[in-house]
Amino acid sequence: MTSIKRRLWTSLAAATLLIWCIFFAMLAAYWQQGRDNPWKNGLAELGDHLLLALPDAFANALVAAAPGPAASGAGPSAQPAVNTGEPGNILTALALNTLQLLAIGFLLGGSVVVSLRPLKRLSAEVAGRLPSETTPIPQDDVPSEIAPLIGAFNTLLARVDHALRSERDFIAQAAHELRTPMSALHTYAEAALMQQDPVARDALLRQLIAACLRTSRLADQLLDQARLEAGPQPGQWVEVDAPQLVRHLLGEFSVQANLQLISLYPRLSPCRIRCDVDAIGILLRNLVDNAMRHGGVQGIVEVSTGYQGRGEALQPYLEVLDDGPGIAESERSRVFERFYRTPGTAAQGSGIGLSLVATIAAQHGAEITCGAGANGRGVRVRVVFPAVPARS
């Protein structure tokens, strides 16, 4: 790995060394041979040729304006072998300076071209890659100034690879999860068609409806999961009144709670949360749905909002608890994994709801705590959000 800066300095040093070598050669010639030396004669001859190359009117004007004996001549065209004096020296210096700049530019340009040659190879390699190829880009022979860019790009490729793997795993697991309820729908429908007894047929149709509801719920969760996989959009977040959001959501569950004889208790203290409203709605909906599914018969579900102190900051929180059988302490950290179901759980579920909660909490920088629920039974899930800055 070579630095572009180092190559540029090396080229500049080489050009400077060449100039100094010429200078010392000229100086040595002056010391050894005096004023009449090959260097002086050659430069004077170069000046004569440069002056003669100019248009006659311009060359005559330069010679006439120059002091000294050269000005009394009839011009360079009349005396081509005579030293043209000051105008020739000026043209010689101009020509030499131009040659020096061209040499330096050639060396520096060559250094840049050689240094960037590995990038052309990398560009061709990246252009020829398949869309799904996420292997790291090799950094051999890459200039050190560009190595951090290649490293950052490789980090991005690693993230893309992780996202693609997660997506493939999710699709495979989702296909497996959907296959079972779809098979159940087919089975219940066929059994109902073949059943002659109206009572038995009605029972099968009720099971079919329940299976349809479970499948619909699973599809909704899978769509929510796919939406969240796209990542958060903090620029679209707004500050919302948490109690008002909870009241609106509990209204969606009121009919279902009445059918299951479950009491919904809002314990709402004023608090505000800066968030993606749709995502927090998904979070609350899954927490309440989970509590109602796994709570006790004729149980209770409490939804709380408020602030909790942490140091000098007040952090808003959302909390849902139930009085069901609860979750063993050793299993509490795993229930937020995708498609994980607690062993021995009687209630049916997909194992996606709490993983959605964990994903949304992580996107909002929130912290989840899980403990015992009402009266030491059931489950209490609290999501604590970062403190909202005070409004001026």
Percent of the chain that is helix, strand, coil (3-state, to 5)? 60, 10, 25
Listed in sequence order, the residues at least 6 apart from 312 whose beta carbon sits closer than 8 Å to its beta carbon are none
Q: Which residues of 75-91 are buried (b: 16+ CB within 10 A; e: fewer)?
A: bbeeeeeebbbbbbbbb
Measure the CA–CA gap between 182 and 171, rounded to whole angstroms. 16
Q: Specify the pLDDT at position 70.
A: 45
Q: Which residues of 327-340 are buried (b: 16+ CB within 10 A; e: fewer)?
A: beeebbeebbebee
**At residue 314, does pLDDT exceed 50?**
yes
- The closest of 214, 164, 208 to 188, measured between CA atoms, is 208
Measure the CA–CA gap between 323 and 295, rounded to whole angstroms. 6
Two tokens at 257? 């709670």
What region, left, alpha or beta, does residue 375 occupy, with left being phi > 0 and alpha being psi -120 to 50 degrees? Answer: left
Q: Specify the pLDDT at position 118.
A: 75
Give the number of C-alpha atoms closer than 13 A to the C-alpha of residue 77, restricted to the C-beta side: 9
DSSP 8-30: HHHHHHHHHHHHHHHHHHHHHHH
**At residue 133, does pLDDT exceed 70?**
yes
Contact of 239 with 274, CB cutoff 8 Å: yes
Q: Specify the pLDDT at position 339.
A: 66
Average pLDDT over residues 220-248: 80
CB atoms within 10 A of CB 293: 17
| 382 beta partners | 319, 369
Q: Specify the pLDDT at position 184.
A: 76
**At residue 81, does pLDDT exceed 60?**
no
Average pLDDT over residues 251-262: 85
Quote the strand ranges of the chain, DSSP E.
238-241, 263-268, 272-275, 300-310, 313-322, 367-372, 379-384
With residue 183 as reference, give the H or E element that holds it.
Answer: helix 147-194
Two tokens at 379? 């489950």
**At residue 345, does pLDDT exceed 80?**
no
DSSP state of 35: T
Radius of gyration of the chain (CA): 42
pLDDT-derived band at 324, boundaries 50, 70, 90: confident
**Burial, 34: exposed, middle or buried (Cβ in 10 Å; 0-12, 13-18, 19+)?**
exposed
Measure the CA–CA gap between 80 and 236, rounded to whole angstroms. 81
